[in-house]
Amino acid sequence: MASKSAHAVAVAVAVLLLLLSPPAPAALAAAPQLSVDFHAASCPQLESIVRSAVQAALQRDIALAAGLIRIFFHDCFPQGCDASVFLTGTDSEQAQPPNANSLQPRALQLVDDIRAMVHAACGPTVSFADIPALPTRGGPSYSPSLGQLDSLAPAPANLVNQLPGPGTSSVQQLINLFGSRGMRDAADLVALSGGHTVGKSRCPFVRPQDDAFSRKMAANCSVDPNGKQDLDVVTPVTFDNGYYIALTRSQGVFTSDMALIRDPITAPIVRQFAQDKAAFFSNFTKSIIKLSKVPRPGGNVGEIRRSCSRSNRSPRLVETTGSEEEGFAASA
């Protein structure tokens, strides 16, 4: 299992760290100054805690790798990386169409479990929204700045519903959408789509029948409509460039996947990544750093949540000498 999931473990560790945040003792903190070494003094063991916990979790369930990547993207794309996607209750992002039934509860729970470990070791100095860089082995590593605070409320529905889906948007529409978040290079769209190199799709989302591969998927789904399809049919449990190799063989699962190899703007990039894993890793690193810097409309204001799923201001959150540790076990 370890050899098959080496890249997935490495990337998922880094991506999970993209879901953790900054020191500020007050319930509502002023915007801190972001820096790569933000947690060096307040929680020097942060990276080792997260790495160990994620590696152990992925050894039990490799599918968590895809779940962690999806959570990061779905949190950051609407209005910046602020952990708003974790909030439950009224107007929760999790209930909006792009997120409904698409975020793994066990991946959400893993983040909350690790938050509890980090707070136990360092106190409430790290939030869910931070974006540290974790040196990894066997996968791309990156060093974005730290210091993001957790939002007090979910992102508005109109922003959440701008999350790109598996449907019929044209490549140019997707490029424009990514550009509105500061990712203006077509390679950003192609590289971040490479997150599909791990994970599965439910049958209702696979693309319509227009070739032998899509007809095969349809036949499988007719046998089990609740079944799932690997998004990367070449190396489904390894974070590598197998997704792009599959696209060059017309084996993309989503309509949006196949659009990348059929469009003259993105097709050359797909072929480059299919031929050169290092080129994919390099571009993925640059693009995910851009994703981590999607501007927050109100600036970096918020808090360090004691519960993953609700603000510290919630009357349901009981003040104790430690902090109430309900998290997703109680809310999902």
What's residue 25's pLDDT?
Answer: 42
Within a domain: residue 246?
yes
Q: Which segments are annotated as binding site for Ca(2+)?
A: 75, 80, 82, 84, 93, 197, 232, 235, 240
Domain, as residue range, for 121? 45-292
Domain CATH code at residue 283: 1.10.420.10
Within a domain: residue 5?
no
The Cα–Cα gap between 256 and 242 comes to 17
Q: Which segments are annotated as binding site for heme b?
A: 196
* DSSP assignment letter at 294: P
Active site residues: 74
The Cα–Cα gap between 248 and 261 comes to 7
Within a domain: residue 195?
yes
Question: Six-digit token pair at 305?
Answer: 């949540």
Q: What angle do CA 89, 92, 97 make, to 5 degrees?
A: 135
What's residue 13's pLDDT?
Answer: 54
Distance of CA 258 to the CA centre of its chain: 21
Q: Can you give the pLDDT of all 332 residues of the chain as single tens digits? A: 445 555 555 555 555 555 554 444 444 445 677 777 888 899 999 888 888 888 898 889 888 888 888 988 999 999 998 999 999 998 999 999 999 888 999 988 988 888 889 899 999 988 887 733 343 334 577 776 778 899 999 999 999 999 998 887 899 999 999 999 999 999 999 999 999 999 999 999 999 999 999 999 999 999 999 899 999 999 999 999 999 999 999 999 999 999 999 999 999 999 999 999 999 999 999 998 898 888 999 899 999 988 889 999 876 644 433 333 333 322 22
Within a domain: residue 305?
no
What's residue 15's pLDDT?
Answer: 53
Burial of 121 (0-12, 13-18, 19+ CB in 10 A): middle
200-202 and 228-230 strand pairing: antiparallel
Within a domain: residue 69?
yes
Q: Which segments are annotated as binding site for substrate?
A: 164
Distances (CA, A) of 262 to 96, 194, 253, 267, 271: 30, 16, 14, 6, 11
Enter the pTM of the model: 0.86
Q: Residues with Cβ < 8 Å from 306, sequence gap 6 or more?
A: 119, 124, 312, 317, 323, 324
Question: Six-digit token pair at 161?
Answer: 């519903």
Total domain count for the chain? 1
CA neighbor of 195 nearest in space, from 66, 7, 85, 101: 66
Q: Are 235 and 197 in contact (CB under 8 A)?
A: yes
What's residue 63's pLDDT?
Answer: 85
Within a domain: residue 307?
no
The Cα–Cα gap between 52 and 17 comes to 12
Q: Are 238 and 231 in contact (CB under 8 A)?
A: no
Within a domain: residue 103?
yes
Within a domain: residue 313?
no
Question: Six-digit token pair at 236?
Answer: 């489904």
